[in-house]
Amino acid sequence: MGEPDREADDGRLYVPAWEDGWRVRIKTTWEREYCFAMKSGEDFYHLLMAGEIYMQFDDEKFCMECAMRRGVLSRNRLHWKRGES
């Protein structure tokens, strides 16, 4: 049989929107930069830390939390199936 179905606890992450220009970056400076999104219920922007992995689209930067919430980052290995008709 094939490999066991362990997608649920698979720690890998996917970027379904990579073709739209989304990129994964690592913050390499201590310069103050903030996540472009704000979580509903919060009234502050997330500070990105040096060494933090974040996502970028043009000049807009998003922490992984917000990227995940917006669906530009996914744990679903079969994300590519979703858009197919």
Tell me if 55 contacts Zn ion by CB under 5 A. no
From 61, 62, 71, 54, select the one nearest 15 (Cα to Cα).
71
Reduced to 3 states (helix: H, G, I; strand: E, B; else coil), residue 56 is: strand
Segment interacting with Zn ion (CB under 5 A) among 10-18, 38-46, 53-61, 68-76: 38-46
Which runs of consecutive H residues, i.e. helices, occur in the chain? 64-70, 79-82
Q: Which residue lies nearer to Zn ion by CB, 5 or 42?
A: 42
Least distance to Zn ion from the beta carbon of 1, Å?
Answer: 41
Using CB under 5 A, list all residues that contact Zn ion.
35, 37, 46, 63, 66
